[in-house]
Structures are given as structure tokens and as C-alpha cells.
Amino acid sequence: MTPIGYCLCMSNDDVRRRVVAVTGASGGVGRAVVREFAKRGDSIALLSRGEVGLSAAADDVRGAGATAMVVPVDVADHAQIDAAVERIENELGPIDIWVNSAFTSVFAPFAEISPEEFARVTEVTYLGAVYATMAVLRRMRERDAGTIVQVGSTLAYRGIPLQSAYCGAKHAMQGFHESLRCELLHDHSNVHVTMVQLPAVNTPQFSWVLSRLPERAQPVPPIYQPEVAARAVVYAADHPDRREYWVGASTAATLIVNAVAPGLLDRYLARTGFEAQQTGQPKDPDQPANLWEPADGNGGRDFGAHGAFDQKAKPRSVQVFASQHHAALLGAGAAAVAGLVATLGRKAWKS
């Protein structure tokens, strides 16, 4: 497991222009990933439901001098995904890199989520990645070449309150990824799968996800800009031999503490997790919800890659330094984790 953050990718001279497909390409991390691949001239298939965001993402790609192909699709429909993969390969050529970034969620206590809503989050966030992987892997295995990147989250390992559906889906994605990777290794396949575990990111999801919270939802600080995540995803696509990448110091610290003292973290999040995910300002009663329909559909606006937290979000991560100096930072990291565990313990047991 390799913590990384701000990553410089290979130049156009180092890699050939490839065929790349990105789900969730209309906004947020997926949109930022599309822009990052476009910088080096890759041919990019953009998959999402929202027509406004897809059109704007295609403009981003073409503005960078790269080739864009718009593919409207609901990833929860396996037939749509299979048809999309076939169309991409027929029109752009064999897919070299597939990035599963599409997701949806519900911000609410578990008791306030309906079975239909929970199923929809699971179908989009987890099964959407499974269906896409299934469709593209079949073709990649025939060629014995290709890379699939699963965009994960710190929440793939560490569940938090108010996001039970999303956390469950990302946990499922993590288990699926590990199982598939073992099978490919067993077969000595040249098809690679890797996963990128993201921190809190400033994306539009907090303005368009179905929320039953009384206050406006926010990512749990520290918050990173989507470009940090995008550079990490592209780096992972270039270096897929590693099973997964951790992005951001907060991700690394959380996952290490969770491995050492998960019960302590339960108590800490029980105390802080509700307040930390709300801004203190009332939720907009007219806020869209993209669970069933895209937020940028029916003449809606382009949400772009960034959310509403630009002033709080970090444009880079020191993890690029950490990833290059593991040995030197190992001692300091261990001390920091020990301090964090002690702090969490004091706060948790005061509750």
C-alpha cells in the first residue's frame, strides 16, 4: 500500500497516446481525471448520465487538443455498460485504461434511508464498477493487456456515520478488487487492476447528493482539490503493479489508526462524525438530488470538477514527498500515529 498525493505523470514523450474510458466523467473527480488524461493527448471516452456535464467535459478534452467521445450511460445497467464498451472499442480502438469513478450516495442516518435508495447507491457505486470491469476485462484478457483503476476512498476501509450506503458500497468494491487481483496474478495475466483510496475531496457531490441532514453537507476536513485525486489516478494507471494507493496524509493516518485501534475510532467518530459532515448552515431546500436522475439533466447547469469548498481545499499533498522518502519518514510517521491514537483515546473515553 503506497501513500501518494500530488503526482507528476509521464510526459507525452514517455507514453503513447492511449484509449482511456472514465465513468462519472461529467463532474467531480471523474471530470478532473478526464482533464488530466487530456493533457497528454489520450483519446478519452466520457461516460456518465448528465448531458450538460458530459458536453462540457468533452469541451475540456478538445480544448486540450485531445479526442473526446461522449457516451451517455447509467452504469447500474449492465446492458448499457456492455454496449458502451463495444461502441468505444469500435470507434476509438482497444481500451488501454478504464477508470471506475462513478458513484452516488445518500447523506442520512441509516434508519432514514429506504431500501430502494440503499439499493440504488449500491447498484451505481459498487455494481456499476463490477459491471464495467466485467465488460472491459473480457476484452482486455483476450488481448492480455490493459489497466483498470478503481477509484476508492478512505471509506472503503473505515465506515463513518451518515454514509452507510456509500461506505458499504466502497467496502464491497475493495473486497471485489482484492479478489480479482488475486485471480489475475494466478493467471499471470498482463491485465492490471489497482485501486486509489481518496481522502475528502472538494467535489460537487455535496451540492447534488440526496441529503436528509438538517444542515448543508461537507467533506470531513482536511479537504483536497479534485486535481490531487486526478493526478493520483493517472499515476496509478501508469504504475498499476501496486495493489492500491493511498492519497493524502489524512487517508494514511485514518487507515493506520483503524488497523491499530478500530474500536477507539468508532467512539471518536460517534462523537464527531455528525457535526464534522455539516457546515452549520441550513441546507438549501431546492438542492438537487442525483440519485435517480442526473443533477445536470433537463437543462441543468454544469457542476464542473470543483465543489463549494475551494477556500478550504488543499491544491496539493505532501504525500508526493512521503512516497519518495518512505524510509526517512517511517519513524516520524509511527510517532505521529501513536500521538493520534492517544488523542483519539482521550476524546473518545471522555464521552
For residue 8, the model assigns a pLDDT of 40
Domain of residue 296, residue span: 2-350
**Strands (DSSP E) along 152-300, which ranges?**
191-197, 200-201, 210-211, 215-217, 223-224, 244-247, 278-282
Residue 3: asked if its preceding bond is cis (omega within 30°), the reply is: no
Domain count, the chain: 1
pLDDT band at 17, cuts 50/70/90? confident
**What does pLDDT average to over the chain?**
90
Q: What angle do CA 119, 121, 125 make, to 5 degrees?
A: 125
Whether the per-residue pLDDT at 324 is higher than 50: the answer is no
Number of other residues whose CB lies within 10 A of the CB of residue 123: 19
For residue 158, the model assigns a pLDDT of 97
Whether the per-residue pLDDT at 153 is higher than 60: the answer is yes
User: How far, in Å, CA of 273 to CA of 321, rounded?
Assistant: 30
Nearest to 99 by CA among 176, 144, 40, 34: 34
Percent of the chain surpassing pLDDT 90: 80
Whether the per-residue pLDDT at 5 is higher than 70: the answer is no
For residue 13, the model assigns a pLDDT of 45
Nearest to 206 by CA among 222, 214, 217: 217
Element (H, E) at 304: none
For residue 16, the model assigns a pLDDT of 65
Q: What CATH code is carried by the domain that includes residue 153? A: 3.40.50.720
- Encode pLDDT of 60-89 as tens digits: 999 999 999 999 999 999 999 999 999 999
For residue 350, the model assigns a pLDDT of 63
For residue 6, the model assigns a pLDDT of 38
Global pTM reads 0.88
Residue at 49: amino acid letter: R
Average the pLDDT over 171-193 and give the result. Answer: 98
